[in-house]
Amino acid sequence: MVASRAVAGAFGGYALASLVTAVLSLALPLVTGASRASALLTATMLSFAVYAVAVMWAFSARSALSAWAGLAIASAVFGAALLALQGARA
């Protein structure tokens, strides 16, 4: 089960951090009026913290299944937000 948690933390955390970065890079200019470059830089820096928290979550969850479920739910939420923001831009 440790291997499953490690894979969840590594790959699930990467997917979640990537989605958060994409959402923030699109949302920050709309919300704060920041430039796109500044929003992308901020989102990228925050993604390191998101990745670290995702890895910690994978190892602190009660079971490997709950680690995967937590990362999957969070990724689904940010994936939906990304689709909504991309639709709003078009």
Which residue range forms the structural domain that includes residue 33? 2-89
pLDDT single digits (tens) 57-78: 999 999 999 999 999 999 999 9
Q: Taking a C-beta distance cutoff of 8 angstroms, is the pair 78, 16 a contact?
A: yes
Do you know the residue count of the chain? 90
The predicted-structure confidence for 15-31, as pLDDT tens digits, reads as follows: 999 999 999 999 999 99
The total number of structural domains in the chain stands at: 1
- Is residue 25 a contact partner of residue 83, using CB atoms and an 8 Å limit? no
CA-to-CA dists, residue 42 to 2, 26, 29, 39, 85, angstroms:
33, 11, 11, 5, 18
Q: What is the pLDDT of residues 48-59, one digit of tens each?
A: 999 999 999 999
User: In this structure, which amino acid lies at residue 41?
Assistant: L
φ/ψ of residue 72, rounded to 5: -65, -40
